[in-house]
């Protein structure tokens, strides 16, 4: 028997079409019910429950209860990053399931990846943070600098709050459409929430699209210049 992590198990969990549809739906970051996920998976609720049990046992999703209702989300942002990277690999090799639709340009421009900003604007933001030396990118990964800490304070983000969980503050996530990295981690989440709070952008209903207003787009690009 071979030793080490069992990637075949993860592959079998993600590789089933219905389960892949469930995971793709959950990458939006929203908590969804079994009935909602059954629609996404195009299978019965009973079959969906079986798939959800396997995904939960495999550590890819988690459930929470609210009253008599069950809701499911991805287990953590690491699962989201893996799915985003796999989507990029699939796109790179031409493995697409649907034709390009009218929403595709908007998805490529800016979308949510579990809990942070992805797409062209997510990549632009990380590039700008690095070029302004707010974040350094070396062999150990991404790290927030002292200058970056001062920058966060200037836009009313408390840097001390970013390290209160086990999640990394800064983490690169391979963007499926740009095929370059955008910013994940607690900082990526906090910045996206800040854009919502300031009214620069909002989530489109029933979609991963993050729609920036004209003013929000202008302010975003002023804060994160090329």
In the predicted model, what is the mean pLDDT of the chain?
A: 91
Segment holding 81, helix H or strand E: helix 77-92
Segment holding 183, helix H or strand E: strand 181-184
Range ranked top by mean pLDDT from 55-64, 72-81, 88-97: 55-64
Residue 101 is predicted with a pLDDT of 52
Residue 155 is predicted with a pLDDT of 96
| CATH 1.10.10.10 domain residues, the chain | 7-75
- Say if residue 139's pLDDT is above 90: no
Cα–Cα distances in angstroms (integers) from residue 48 to residues 23, 63, 86, 148, 203, in the given order:
12, 14, 22, 44, 26
Start-end of H helices in 103-164? 104-109, 120-131, 146-154
* CA distance linking residue 36 with residue 136, whole number of Å: 41
User: Model confidence over 39-56: pLDDT tens digits?
Assistant: 999 999 999 999 999 999
Q: Which CATH architecture has domain 7-75?
A: Orthogonal Bundle (1.10)
* CA distance linking residue 31 with residue 70, whole number of Å: 9
Range ranked top by mean pLDDT from 153-157, 179-183, 205-209: 153-157
- Say if residue 150's pLDDT is above 70: yes
Q: How many alpha carbons fall within 13 Å on the CB side of residue 19?
A: 19
User: Model confidence over 8-40: pLDDT tens digits?
Assistant: 989 999 999 999 999 999 998 889 999 999 999
């Amino acid at each position: 028997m071979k030793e080490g992590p069992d990637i075949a198990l993860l592959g079998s969990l993600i590789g089933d079409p219905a389960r892949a549809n469930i995971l793709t739906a959950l990458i939006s970051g929203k908590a969804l019910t079994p009935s909602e996920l059954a629609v996404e998976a195009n299978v019965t609720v009973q079959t969906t429950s079986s798939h959800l049990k396997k995904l939960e046992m495999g550590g890819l999703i988690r459930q929470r209860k609210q009253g008599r209702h069950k809701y499911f989300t991805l287990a953590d942002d690491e699962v989201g990053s893996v799915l985003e990277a796999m989507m990029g690999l699939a796109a790179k090799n031409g493995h697409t399931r649907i034709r390009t639709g009218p929403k595709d340009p908007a998805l490529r421009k800016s979308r949510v990846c579990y809990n942070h900003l992805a797409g062209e604007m997510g990549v632009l933001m990380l590039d700008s943070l690095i070029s302004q030396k707010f974040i350094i990118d070396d062999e150990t990964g991404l790290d927030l600098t002292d200058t970056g800490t001062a920058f966060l304070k200037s836009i009313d983000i408390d840097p001390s709050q970013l390290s209160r969980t086990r999640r990394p503050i800064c983490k690169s996530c391979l963007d499926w459409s740009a095929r370059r990295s955008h910013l994940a981690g607690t900082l990526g989440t906090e910045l996206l929430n800040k854009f919502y709070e300031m009214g620069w952008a909002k989530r489109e209903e029933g979609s991963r699209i993050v729609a920036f207003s004209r003013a929000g787009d202008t302010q975003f690009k002023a804060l994160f210049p090329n």
